Amino acid sequence: MRDYYKKYLELHKNKNCIRLHFLGQWVTLISAYLIFYYWLWYLIPIIPFIIYPFAWTGHYLFEKNEPAAFHDPVKAKLADWMMFWDILRCKIKIW
């Protein structure tokens, strides 16, 4: 996974793209909280996909490349969370 993450970061050099991913992860977390809090069980399957409009907008508008999720969605999802965690720990600067 470490090698994949390095390749994943190569697809995320534009700060605006990274910011959109970060925002999408927050929206995912807040949505998941609300879905479970109000027990909207029928919405649970959409939780993994909430980030995609944010992330794909970043790729198409700013990076001008194809999202990693098109090739390996499971590893891309894990890498999304790894990047989110690295931003929170200030290993990746977005400002």
Q: Please state the rounded mean pLDDT for residues 81-87.
A: 98
* The two structure tokens encoding residue 53: 């409009």
31, 47 Cβ separation under 8 angstroms: yes
Confidence of residue 75 (pLDDT cuts 50, 70, 90): very high
Residues of the domain holding 21: 2-88
Residue 27 located in a structural domain: yes
Our count of domains for the chain comes to: 1
pLDDT of residue 22: 98
Residue 94 located in a structural domain: no
11-58 pLDDT, tens digit each:
999 999 999 999 999 999 999 999 999 999 999 999 999 999 999 999
Residue 95 located in a structural domain: no
* Gap between the terminal Cα atoms of the chain: 27
pLDDT of residue 6: 96
* The two structure tokens encoding residue 13: 């050099």
pLDDT of residue 10: 96
48, 79 Cβ separation under 8 angstroms: no
Residue 77 located in a structural domain: yes
